[in-house]
Every structure is written in C-alpha cells, then in structure tokens.
Amino acid sequence: MLAGAASLALAGHAYADTTLKLVEVITSPDRTATLKTLVKEYEDANPGVNVEITSLPWGQAFEKFATMVSAGQTPDVVEMPDTWLTLYANNGALESLEPYLKDWDATENLNARALEFARSAGNEAYMLPYGFYLRAMFYNKKLFKEAGVTEVPKTLEDFREAAKKVSALPGKSGYCLRGGPGGLNGWVMFGAAAAGSNDFFTKDGKSTFDSDGWVKGLKYLTDLYKEGLAPKDSLNWGFNEIVAGFYSGTCAMLDQDPDALIAISSRMKAEDFGITTMPKGPSGKAFPTIGYAGWSMFKSSEHKDEAWKLISHLESKDANLTWNKRIGALPIYKGAESDPFFASDQFKGWFAELSDPDVHPTVMPTHLEEFAFFKDSLVIRTSQEALLGRITPEELGKQWADYLTPAQQKWMATNP
C-alpha cells in the first residue's frame, strides 16, 4: 500500500511539473493578451500543466527563432508562419499532425483551404492554420476629399494619380510603403499586377522576377518612393509603422490584411476610411497575396499529447473565432463568414476580392525551404537598395531570380 501510494505521489508530482513551452512570433500587445487568455483556459482545463510563453518581436523573429533552434532550445508548440513551414518541415523538426487530425472531432468542420494549407509541405500536415491573411486596400476618405480624389482607385494608374494628389498636401503622402520587414507582399502584388500574372516560375523552373512584366511592377514601386509619394522613412517601415502611418493620417493608402483593423478601427471613425480591392493592372486583374499562420508541434517535444491538447484548444471553434476577431484574420471553420462580426461592413473589401473573378489571391512560393531566408533577409536588403537607387529595378529582379531559380529547380528535381 505504501509503495502504491508512493508511486501515485510520484506520478502526480511528475504530471504537476509538466511545462509546455510555446513561442509566438507574430506579436503585438493585443495578440499576446488574447493568447494568454486562451492559454489560461487550457491550463484551467488541464490542472498541473503550465504553459510558458515566449514572445519574439516579428521584425527579428526569423533570426531569433533560428538561433533558439540551433542552440537546442526548441519549444513544444510554435506559432508557424506559412513562409517558415517548409524550412522546418523539410529539416525534420516538426511532428506530423495527421494522426491527431484523424481522431479530432473538429477536423470535418474545417474549411478546405485550412486543410490544404496545413498540408502544403510534402502533403503532410505539419501545421494547423488558425486563420488567413488576405490583402486589400485601405483608403482615407478625408484625405482623399482634401486632395480632390473623387474616385476610389481601381487601377495602377488611378492609384498613382491619387498618391500624387495626396502627396501634394503639406506633410502628407499617398502610400504607406512597407520597405522593411514583411515588405515582399507589396512587391509581389504590384509586380504581378503589372505583369498580368502571379506565376513565380516558368514550366522549367526559372523565376519570373526578372521578366519584363514583373520588372515594370518593381519599377512602379521604386518610382513611387523616389518621387516622394511615400514617406521618406517608410524605407524601414514594418507592420506597426505602416498601420500607424495610416491611422495617423500621414499617408492615405495602405495595403494590409484584416489584422490592421484592430488598430485602425480603434483610432479612426468607421466613416473616415474604406477598404477596397487591390488596384488592377493593364490586364484588368489584381493579385492580392493570401497568407496564413498556425500552430506546429516540434518533434523534440517530450509532451506531445499535452502539446496537441493545447493546439486543439487554441484551434477549437469558439477559441478560433475569438482569436481571429482579436487579430483580424479570416477563420478556418466552415460558415464562419456568416458570423455577425465577419459579416460587418468593415470586412466587405476582403469578401469583395474573394467574389471578384478578376481578383486572384496569390500564395507565396512557400514550398521552397529557401523562401524564409529570401523573404525575411534577402528581399529586405535588396529592395531597400533599389528604393535608394543603388541598384536598378532590373538588377533587383535579377538578384531575386538568381536566388529563386536554383531553389525551384532543386525542388522540382525532388518533387517530379
């Protein structure tokens, strides 16, 4: 009896000492607060399991997290951006979620896009998305009126003309350019619009970034900056800076995902701004980027069952709706668009894009394990050089193509 009691005590003590390490990488005070609330619900439902949250600033998250992993400081659960997924999945660092999804009663209620993106690395679910980020164009109605912009821009020409008019106002700029971390989306959307295509590669695996059409788009964006149609310091702007630039009235147009609504709607009256589709190019088409992020489990975790319970709680329908309402992403569950919150006027711009046959949501080439470094390091450095006039748009496109072509051809060789 004494031995049995001691055994139970030891077992209880071991369970009580269970600590799950979770790393979030797309951080803001509001997001972290919401995450802590949801994690607290999990802890309350699982006595003895504690979750230790590490929050990395997004601007340095890629490098900081890579350093953690290389030092053996891997978490149990990590917030996984789409652009990192293939890198860590191909390195064998992530646990497959397929066995868990097979037995999870919520799997059948996930929309098809959620499962498609979950399996984007080798057709195996190494991450479960929590939401989708689709770009649309915010515009400041008051600045438009003051500058004499009478029509909401629909084309690249309209966009440029509106930017020029607003930039003629003292201390104002037309476009909130994202020249720092996360800036690739803008280059891709304007490049694809100018090219009339969102194909990143030819059939033989050559990057299209150095093609005439894409280079025209790269030049379009560098010219906007050089001609003063974007704030001078936007060269280094990331997410927080471009959103602040918009709601402060510094610049009149901003391309962003629904997550920008959190800060904007709390600082601007609903009647003072609008949301519309991204401008269309000469082909009459627009190519807003669509991205996603979710939760992954590291293979090195010693507490996989508890880690999955944490992921499944964060991804449960009620928690997922709460999370996406706070962070401004589109939910992963079927029928979520009928929720009163997502059926509001503020989300019409994104649903208008999804229903427009000439708007083609663009998924980045995240299947390449080299893409994370490309997006979070190479693109920032080289695009800033182009904005400053140190290299030409043609040279910019060539540098990107020279990096991505061998990456794509290597992938094609192993994925016939």
Alpha-carbon distance of 252 to 175, in angstroms, equals 6
Q: Which residue has the higher pLDDT, 267 or 9?
A: 267
State the average pLDDT over residues 213-236: 98
pLDDT of 12 above 90:
no
Q: Which two tokens stand for residue 84?
A: 């990192």
pLDDT confidence tier of residue 119, bands split at 50, 70 and 90: very high
b/e code 344-368 from CB counts within 10 Å (16+ = b): eebbebbeebeeeeebebbbbbbbb
Is residue 274, in this structure, part of any structural domain at all?
Answer: yes
Q: Tell me, letter by letter, the H, E, C secondary structure of the chain.
A: CHHHHHHHHHHHHHHHCEEEEEEECCCCHHHHHHHHHHHHHHHHHCCCEEEEEEECCHHHHHHHHHHHHHCCCCCCEEEEEHHHHHHHHHCCCECCCHHHHHHCCCHHHECHHHHHHHCCECCECCCEEEEEEECEEEEEHHHHHHHCCCCCCCEHHHHHHHHHHHHCCCCCEEECCCCCCCCHHHHHHHHHHHHCCCCCECCCCCECCCCHHHHHHHHHHHHHHHCCCCCHHHHHCCHHHHHHHHHCCCEEEEEECHHHHHHHHHHCCHHHEEEECCCECCCCCECCEEEEEEEEEECCCCCHHHHHHHHHHHCCHHHHHHHHHHHCCECCECCHHHCCCCCCHHHHHHHHHHHCCCECCECCCCCCCCHHHHHHHHHHHHHHHHHCCCCCHHHHHHHHHHHHHHHHHHHHHHCC
User: Residue 357: inside a domain, yes or no?
Assistant: no
Cα(242)–Cα(253) distance, rounded to whole angstroms? 10
In a domain, 2, yes or no: no
Query: pLDDT at position 7, please?
Result: 43
**pLDDT at residue 16, as a whole number:** 52
Asked if residues 138 and 254 have their Cβ atoms less than 8 Å apart, the reply is yes
Q: What pLDDT was estimated at residue 335?
A: 83
**Pairwise CA distance, residues 15 & 81, whole Å:** 31
**What dihedral angle (degrees, nearest 10) is formed by the CA atoms of 45, 50, 51, 54?**
160
Does residue 12 lie in a domain region? no
Span 78-95, mean pLDDT? 94
Same domain, 314 and 348: yes
In this prediction, residue 355 has a pLDDT band, given cuts at 50, 70 and 90, of confident
Least confident window among 94-98, 276-280, 350-354, 357-361: 350-354
Do 281 and 401 lie in a common domain? Answer: yes
Give the pLDDT score at 5: 44
352, 382, 397 - which closes a domain: 352
pLDDT in tens, 291-349: 899 999 999 999 999 999 999 999 999 999 999 988 888 889 988 878 888 887 778 78
> Of 321, 352, 383, which residue is a domain's last?
352
Averaged pLDDT score across all residues of the chain: 92
- For residue 363, is it within any domain? no
Confidence at residue 356, expressed as pLDDT on a 0 to 100 scale? 87
Alpha-carbon span 338 to 316, nearest angstrom: 17
Mean pLDDT within 387-401? 98
Say if residue 78 is in the same domain as residue 225: no
321, two tokens: 């709706």
Is it the case that residue 92 has pLDDT exceeding 70?
yes
User: Residue 113: pLDDT above 50?
Assistant: yes
Total of domains in the chain? 2
Give the contacts of 240 (CB within 8 A, at least 6 positions apart).
Answer: 28
User: Hey, what are 19's tokens?
Assistant: 């600590």
- The answer to whether residue 13 scores a pLDDT higher than 70 is no
Q: Which domain holds residue 83?
A: 18-134+291-352
User: Does residue 371 register a pLDDT over 50?
Assistant: yes
pLDDT for 155 equals 98
192 shares its domain with 111? no
Q: Is residue 62 in a domain?
A: yes
**Most confident among 86-95, 161-170, 334-343 (mean pLDDT):** 161-170
pLDDT digits (tens, 9 = 90+) for 247-263: 999 999 999 998 898 88
Length of the chain: 416
Is residue 356 within 8 Å of 137, Cβ to Cβ? no
**Does the structure show a pLDDT above 80 at 9?**
no
Same domain, 241 and 338: no
Residues 283 and 165 in one domain: yes
Asked if residue 360 is part of any domain, the answer here is no
Is 276 in the same domain as 305?
no
Whether residues 253 and 337 share a domain: the answer is: no
Mean pLDDT of 12-18: 57
Residue 8 has a pLDDT of 41
Is residue 11 scored above 70 in pLDDT? no
How many CA atoms, within 13 angstroms, populate the side-chain half-sphere of residue 288?
A: 28
Asked if pLDDT for residue 28 goes beyond 70, the answer is: yes
Task: Please check whether residues 233 and 250 belong to one and the same domain.
Answer: yes
Q: What is the pTM (predicted TM-score) of this model? A: 0.76
Looking at the domain assignment, is residue 82 inside a domain? yes
State the helix-helix crossing angle for 29-45 and 304-314, rounded to 10 degrees: 120
Say whether both 114 and 208 belong to one domain.
no
CATH number, position 255: 3.40.190.10
**What is the percent of the chain with per-residue pLDDT over 70, rounded to a whole number?**
96
Q: List residues bridging with 124 in a β-sheet.
A: 121
> Is the pLDDT score of 235 beyond 90?
yes
User: Nearest to residue 119, comparing CAs of 105, 106, 101?
Assistant: 101
Are 246 and 315 members of one domain? no
Domain boundary among 352, 381, 400: 352
In this structure, are 157 and 267 located in the same domain? yes
